[in-house]
């Protein structure tokens, strides 16, 4: 894929045209989602309210995480941002 991008850029440059390349790293985008903003947007943009909104709220709230290595566990920490992986 990178070779093709490079070739496309070189072709444009050879034709004396301007090239703009925009690269976005969205790998951690879902780790920073604010639950309240997401729930408000689901309601205002998609009309999700009532039981459906309550389900989303229950799915996102009261989550915790911890790390376990070789049988040793860290303390439990609340998760107030982000959506679960695979969501």
Query: Mean pLDDT across the stretch 75-84?
Result: 91
Tokens of 19: 């090239």
Tokens of 46: 């998609």
**pLDDT tens, position by position, 2-22:** 899 999 999 999 999 999 998
DSSP 61: S
Which run of H or E residues covers position 9?
Answer: helix 2-14
Phi and psi for 11 in degrees, rounded to 5?
-60, -45
Q: Is this prediction's pTM over 0.75?
A: no
Q: What's the mean per-residue pLDDT of the chain?
A: 91
**Separate counts of helices (H) and strands (E) for the chain:** 3, 4
More reliable by pLDDT, 27 or 9: 9
Question: Distance (Å, rounded) from C-alpha 64 to C-alpha 70?
Answer: 20
pLDDT at 85 over 80: no
């Amino acid at each position: 894929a990178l070779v093709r991008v490079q070739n496309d850029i070189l072709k444009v440059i050879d034709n004396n045209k301007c090239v703009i390349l925009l690269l976005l790293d969205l790998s951690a985008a879902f780790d920073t989602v604010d639950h309240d903003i997401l729930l408000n947007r689901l309601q205002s943009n998609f009309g999700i309210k009532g039981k459906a909104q309550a389900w989303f709220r229950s799915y996102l709230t009261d989550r915790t995480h911890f790390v376990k290595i070789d049988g040793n566990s860290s303390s439990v920490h609340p998760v107030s941002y982000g959506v679960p992986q695979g969501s």
